[in-house]
Structure 1
């Protein structure tokens, strides 16, 4: 798999429990090889005409382009926000062994015969 096939996907959850739930659901479904649940941060944004400030928990998700549509759907399903931030950035370069690991961990095991 080329480096450009690996994605970093960002989203924010309203709290640590929601963040861990989203992360676990993505790992269990093999849609992500790794999800970093980061420290809470303050987000400032405009929502429905008002400036809001919220504490959020960022998630940094390592996945592949092949899995993006299913990953986005899974995040939306597990996410409590009406309109969650879901942003994917292609990886231009990376340690080849790590990128191969991302690919391997997002590939379901072959069925036993």
Structure 2
């Protein structure tokens, strides 16, 4: 029996467009996510090793189901160049029924 779970949005940032495309393609090809939006370029300000840093980054919005969250996080960590990649999951409160059915069909390999 295939897991479904609730629709979720997973967010991470990457240092460049090519890194984002690589992660996006792997996650979609492995049926871990249904869709990835690569958004950029954005300015990020953050603390790292006791310093305030500024970088240009790209944001990845990944649509999947809650049942896949741990696998998506694990796979991103394997593919990511950052020592500590941003990994955030947001539950989607409302979603179009047709879109969610399409997501589940792809993620569950049907």
Q: Would you say same fold, with TM above 0.5? A: yes
- 1:32 and 2:33 are equivalent in the alignment: yes
Q: Deviations over 1:32-83 (max 9, x none)?
A: 0000011211100011110000000100000011111111111000100000
Q: Work out the number of aligned pairs and report it.
A: 107
Aligned-partner SS, 1:26: helix
Which residue number corresponds to residue 86 of structure 2?
85
Unmatched 5+ stretches in structure 2: none
CA–CA separation in structure 2 for the residues paired with 1:33 and 1:50: 37
Indicate the RMSD between aligned Cα atoms, in angstroms. 1.3
Which residue number corresponds to residue 54 of structure 1?
55
Which residue number corresponds to residue 21 of structure 1?
22
CA–CA separation in structure 1 for the residues paired with 2:22 and 2:108: 21
Which residue number corresponds to residue 97 of structure 1?
98
Q: TM-score, normalised by structure 2?
A: 0.93
How far the C-alpha of 1:98 sits from its partner, in A, is 0.7
Ranges of 4+ aligned residues in structure 1 off by more than 3 Å = none
- 1:108 and 2:102 are equivalent in the alignment: no
